């Protein structure tokens, strides 16, 4: 397997899914809608009498209370601040709260600049009459010389703690998988922290397989600069 990665933050080889605890993926997959293009803000007003392609989650283990409606869509420029907040929450979960160097402007340029190389899905929950961003899946395209096809690399997957148990994590994964297949991609890949065994069990349950014979290597910082100094940019 050949994998590309966009600056994973300081994690040791073989570590770290950009994923939160298993609760982010447990529960029904309601809210699982096909990714739709759009530039909606991180909070949007629901239109009366129109469900905007959403589904209502079935009652969970909360005494039969009906869970809020959820949806998954492509992120727009107005979602940048919310996504940035999710990335920082993810870093705290991964025990590296100070590792995030990217700014909202960096994220905006990567997602929506003249030559965007990164994409983001957002999962939303309807709270009252307002759609609130509850989770995100950030990805980019890879290429395999073995398959001769492109693939999708999942860089970040995160659902806010207060919105777990609604199936949003699985809905994000399902939407990303649907997009990958529609684009002719042959693989959907990600990394998992070694200590996040409950999440690993979830990925096994959806059919994902660990590539234990592969070790991820990284060259960054002064070491990267030193190697670069010994070469030159090809013409």
DSSP assignments along the chain, one per residue: -----S---SPPTT---S---GGGT-S--TT----------SEEEPPTT--TT-EEPPP-SSSSPPPPEEEEEE--GGGHHHHHHHHHHHHHHTT-TT-----HHHHHHHHHSSS--EEEEEEEEEETTEEEEEEEEEEEEEEETTTTEEEEEEEEEEE-GGGTTSSHHHHHHHHHHHHHHHTT---EE----TT-HHHHHHHHHTT----TT-------HHHHHHHHHTS----
Catalytic residues: 203
């Amino acid at each position: 397997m050949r994998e590309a990665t966009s600056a994973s933050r300081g994690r040791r080889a073989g570590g770290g899914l950009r994923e939160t605890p298993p609760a982010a993926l447990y529960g029904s997959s309601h809210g699982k809608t096909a990714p739709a293009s759009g530039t909606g803000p991180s909070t949007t007003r629901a239109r009366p009498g129109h469900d905007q392609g959403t589904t209502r989650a079935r009652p969970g283990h909360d005494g039969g209370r009906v869970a809020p409606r959820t949806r998954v869509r492509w992120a727009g420029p107005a979602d940048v601040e919310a996504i940035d907040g999710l990335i920082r929450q993810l870093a705290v979960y991964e025990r590296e709260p100070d590792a995030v160097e990217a700014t909202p402007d960096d994220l905006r340029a990567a997602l929506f600049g003249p030559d965007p190389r990164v994409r983001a899905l957002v999962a939303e929950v309807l709270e009252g009459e307002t759609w609130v961003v509850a989770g995100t899946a950030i990805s980019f395209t890879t290429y395999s010389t073995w398959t001769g096809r492109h693939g999708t690399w999942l860089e970040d997957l995160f659902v806010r703690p207060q919105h777990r148990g609604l199936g949003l994590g699985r809905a994000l994964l399902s939407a990303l998988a649907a997009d990958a297949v529609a684009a002719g991609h042959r693989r959907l890949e990600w990394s998992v922290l070694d200590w996040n065994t409950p999440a690993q069990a979830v990925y096994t349950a959806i059919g994902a397989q660990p590539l234990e014979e592969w070790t991820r290597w990284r060259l960054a910082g002064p070491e990267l600069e030193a190697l670069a100094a010994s070469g030159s940019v090809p013409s």
